[in-house]
Structure formats: C-alpha cells, structure tokens
Amino acid sequence: MAHAQDSITLLLQDLQRIFRARLRSVVRYGERARAAAGADKAPVHTMAMVDRLTLEDLGACAAASPSWHKWQLAVPLIIPAAELAAGLDAFPREYAEISGDYGVLVGEDPFAGAQIDQEALRHECEVQARSHLLHLRQGYVAAGGKGKPLAQLVAASAPALAALLRNLARLDGVSLHEHGAVADHTARRLSVDDRVLGDVLALTDTSQRLTPESASRIFPAYLDAMERLAAYVDAWRA
C-alpha cells in the first residue's frame, strides 16, 4: 500500500496524463469529516474539474481505476467546469459537503466565488431529514423494535446522520465537522439532549459497538430528535 501522499501524487500524474491542458484543478475533500469519524483507513476522495470530458477520457480513467483502488483512493469525481457552475443549484447538498471541507491540490480553486443557494440546500436537507426519519421508522418495525437488528439499524444510520447535521449547520452559516460540536449545535437548535446525537455520531467509527440494550435506550430519543429536525428544516428561513 502506498503512503497517502504518494497515492495522491500518482493520481495527479494519471489525471494530468489523461486530461493534459484540459485539467483545470484537482481538490481533495472530506478530510475533516473523515478524521471526525475516525475513518483513517477510508478511501481518499478527490474531485477534478476539467474543460471537457469525453468517452475516451472515461475509458482511460477506467483503465487506471484498479490502481486507484489499490492506492486507497476513491474514484475521482470528474466534472466539466460548465457543469459544475450549472449544478450548484441542482446538487446544493453534495457541493456544500465538498466546498465546506476541501483543499486544492493543483490548479485553480473550483469553488472561488461559488454561491450555494440556501433555499435549494434547505429543500435538500428536508428531503434528507424526512428520508432519514422514514428509514428509522420502517427499520424499527422490521427489527421488531429490539435486539441486534435494532442496534444494526442505529449504527448503520450514523454516517447519514453526520452528513445531515453538517448540512444543517451550513444552513445556519456554520461549518462544523467534529462530532461534539455538530451534536451541540443541533441540540441547541432542536432543544434536545446532545448526548443522544453524540452517541449515534460516535458510531461512524466502525470500531464502536452498540449493544441491543443501548440501542433500545437510545432509539426513542433519537427518533424524537429526527421528528424535531424534519419540522425544523421545514420551517427554516434564511
């Protein structure tokens, strides 16, 4: 396994070989969220902005992808510059996640001067919150309301919750990644106990284990917090 910096260097060499002068920038993103989750062994995420993207380019990237996987790199998000500018309102949640936690590796800053539409972000957060709530309710029924399946449901929901709460903070104009700060911000907005949110967020670290007894204790407050969150985002105004 190559060292992380060596892997990035090899990736940049591949992208520069494939796109040459059409490669405008490469950024690495998600590092603070990755560190907060204790996911040091998770793949490194990058985004490349290019002038133009062809089928031949995709084929060249496909040929390189086995090496990227071996180097512990996620397949880069490759976006033509015009599509990035046009997509800020179509994918506000995704671009807010990237632009809130990134560093430029080469080239220009793709997010310089970019404005994420707050109403579009609010709408996506509401969809995310309501989907999360429905998933918890349905999962609780499927799990029989107890036992190992309930613990698995709560643990599996943790990464999505972390992303949702980071975006909730961005609606309020705050960029947060450390789980304690994220839980505290959300608890103050929703008037709930930050300990339940912190307990669930801690499960993004896959070394943490949740017992069936703890899941049964956490779940009622967790569900209540998600109901409050869906209502909060629905009523949120800039």
What is the rounded CA–CA span in Å between residue 121 and residue 170? 9
Identify whether residues 97 and 122 lie together within a single domain.
Answer: no
Identify whether residues 67 and 23 lie together within a single domain.
Answer: yes
Identify whether residues 127 and 103 lie together within a single domain.
Answer: no
Task: Tell me, yes or no, whether 221 lies in a domain.
Answer: yes
Identify whether residues 97 and 135 lie together within a single domain.
Answer: no
The predicted model scores a pTM of 0.76
Identify whether residues 127 and 181 lie together within a single domain.
Answer: yes
Q: How many CB atoms lie within 10 A of CB 52?
A: 10
Query: Is residue 119 over pLDDT 60?
Result: yes
Identify whether residues 61 and 150 lie together within a single domain.
Answer: no
* Overall number of domains in the chain: 2
**Which two three-digit tokens encode residue 101?**
């936690």
The domain spanning residue 77 has which CATH number?
3.30.460
Give mean pLDDT, residues 192-213: 90
Assess contact for 71 and 7: CB atoms under 8 A: yes
**Torsion region of 2: left, alpha or beta (phi above 0 gives left; psi -120 to 50 gives alpha):** beta
Domain limits for position 131: 118-235
- Averaged pLDDT score across all residues of the chain: 91
DSSP string, 115-177: ---HHHHHHHHHHHHHHHHHHHHHHHHHTTTSHHHHHHHHHHHHHHHHHHHHHHHHHTT----
**Torsion region of 47: left, alpha or beta (phi above 0 gives left; psi -120 to 50 gives alpha):** beta
- The pLDDT tens digits for 139-153 are 999 999 989 999 999
Give mean pLDDT, residues 96-121: 90
Q: What is the DSSP letter of 41?
A: T
Identify whether residues 175 and 88 lie together within a single domain.
Answer: no
Identify whether residues 129 and 227 lie together within a single domain.
Answer: yes
Identify whether residues 92 and 137 lie together within a single domain.
Answer: no
Assess contact for 63 and 18: CB atoms under 8 A: no
Collapse the DSSP code of 47 into the 3-class scheme (helix H, G, I; strand E, B; otherwise coil) and give the result.
strand
- The pLDDT tens digits for 31-85 are 876 776 665 667 899 999 999 999 999 999 999 999 999 999 999 999 999 999 8
**Which two three-digit tokens encode residue 64?**
């390189």
Query: Which domain-ending residue is among 73, 107, 141?
Result: 107
